[in-house]
Amino acid sequence: MGWYDTNGNDWYKPSSQTGAQARQPAANLPNGNRKTRVIALIVCLCVFIAGIALIAGGFGSDVIDYNADGKPSDWHVYFDKLYGTDAPTATADVRIPLADDRGSLTIKNGSEGASLDFSMIYEKCSPSVVGIKVYNDSESEDYYAWGSGVIASADGYIITNTHVLDDGDSATVVLSDGSEHEAKLIGFDASSDIAVIKIDATGLAAAEFASSSTLSVGDSVAAIGNPLSPDLRLTMTRGIVSALNREINYNGATMTLIQTDASINEGNSGGPLFNSRGQVIGITNMKMISSFGSGVEGLGFAIPSDTVESIVQALIEDGAVYGRVSIGVTVGPVSKDIAQYYDIPQGLYVSAVTEGSDAEAKGIERGDIITKVNGEDAFENSDVSDAKEGLNAGDTLTFTVWRDGRTLDITVKLMDPADMGK
């Protein structure tokens, strides 16, 4: 369960960028809308008190009736704006041609060494960072989504975010020297937002990786990626590790992420976050923005390298990750204050239901408020993730759901995200 940003209206959102050869994105566009239509992704986290949201595009132009205190008069509108209306799913639609052979990949782990200054980090690491153009056959030839990736091996394996490739029919990798290469898909995992592609090339500058377990809050980090458009390829931003083990619910699964104040923008998705020795310790994929107009800066997130390596190995071996369980709903907290304000129950607002999930089959709907899980109060996302801890696909949870003044008990079977939609 979790918060998936839907183009600017949800908690978290990915940071891929939509674009065309000659089109420049809006200067105030948050972190990576994949298309010009409004659909939120995981990089926009919204919280009521702060009014923040992970961005994935802009907001719609709907006229909303606001009360004197600035809140929408209709609670459905409030939560739709806060948590997004275009739901994420536990799967992704990646149609990029598969590689003939997944082959094998050994990630290069760097050794302990002296810290580098930021100019040295850039000199060492920028050749391993790539741009990724993702084309959709239904769009014009010059229309593509734009993201980042990092070279994992000299023979062409590249790590990026799944959301960068989502809805794509083909992909082109742009190396640091400007040369372009057709990419083939090795595998992707929507729940972790990690994907692996491969190009037909050798002698590439493979990045060094380091264990994210060695990080401490306050450590210096640098992000290198391709914000907004190809015109800004290989941009480096610097900052620190702001927090560790931030739990974010995305695509029906809980992601544990690194928080950083290094600037992350649309197009940065899939790019590397380096430590002070120029080693990859994370893959950037999210940032926070405001859903209600307040400014939010310096709140970016990256998938820890330890997670990345385990997912990558599974993708190399099987093309997908199996054995996890998902409920198939995306939820966000209804705080006590907001519940009182709108005269609704405190609990978890259902912003999305995954197509093909048992939750969908059993009748859980967007707009429901989950008040209990197995008879226990459910006020935070962790109340649900804790309840499914240790359970397997086929096991069940019973949700008490409030819907338009009625209370329902709905028992839902847990499923492997890879099986949803089949």
Q: Which amino acid does the sequence have at 40?
A: A
In the three-class reduction of DSSP (H, G, I as helix; E, B as strand; rest coil), residue 181 is classed as strand
Please confirm, yes or no, whether 163 is among the known catalytic residues: yes
Helix (H) or strand (E) holding 40: none
E strand spans, 103-234: 129-135, 143-151, 157-160, 170-174, 180-189, 194-199, 220-225
**Cα–Cα dist 88/353, whole Å:** 8
Looking at residue 85, the DSSP 8-state letter turns out to be S
Q: Exactly one of 10, 128, 148, 163 is catalytic; which is it?
A: 163
Helix (H) or strand (E) holding 187: strand 180-189
Q: Which two tokens stand for residue 272?
A: 């590397």
Q: Exactly one of 5, 10, 193, 416 is catalytic; which is it?
A: 193
**Cα–Cα dist 87/213, whole Å:** 32
**Cα–Cα dist 89/306, whole Å:** 24
Q: Exactly one of 15, 192, 269, 305 is catalytic; which is it?
A: 269
Q: Which two tokens stand for residue 89?
A: 């799913």
**Cα–Cα dist 240/234, whole Å:** 19
Query: What residues contact residue 331 under an 8 Å CB cut-off, 6+ apart?
Result: 1, 2, 3, 249, 348, 349, 350, 351, 370, 381, 384
CA-based end-to-end distance of the chain: 19
Q: Which residues are catalytic?
A: 163, 193, 269
